[in-house]
Amino acid sequence: MNSDKNDNFIQELMAKSERKMPFDDFEDRLMQQIHKEAKTSRSFIKDVKLSWFFFTIGTVFGLVLNIIVAEMNKTIFGIPSQRLVLIVQVLFVMILLFQIDRLVGLTKKLR
């Protein structure tokens, strides 16, 4: 008899603890959101890899440009080549360091 009371009491407690879903399609919407986030994550990984690829190409292009400008012994727009080389190299190093910092930060987000 006491066992029946306990069983009924537990059943009542379980019935009271049952929660209704906030929306009828809550579960479907949640699964769609999870799939969307997974797709976005894969896209983010691909974009970071492409960023490293184009960063490498840009770095090589910048180095070639620096070498070409350093080899020239002409004035360009009234600026002597030695001063132009210095300006180009300073800009190149600043952009290179800024981009490396950004790409390393993006790569760390992947982990």
Tens digits of residue pLDDT in 40-85: 777 778 888 898 999 999 999 888 888 887 787 777 778 777 887 8
Mean pLDDT of the chain: 80
Of 7, 99, 88, 3, the closest CA to residue 51 belongs to 99
Q: What are φ and ψ of residue 76, in 5° steps?
A: -115, 120
**pTM reported for the whole predicted model:** 0.56
pLDDT range class, residue 97, cuts 50, 70, 90: very high
pLDDT range class, residue 107, cuts 50, 70, 90: confident
Question: Which residue is it, tokens 């400008």?
Answer: 69
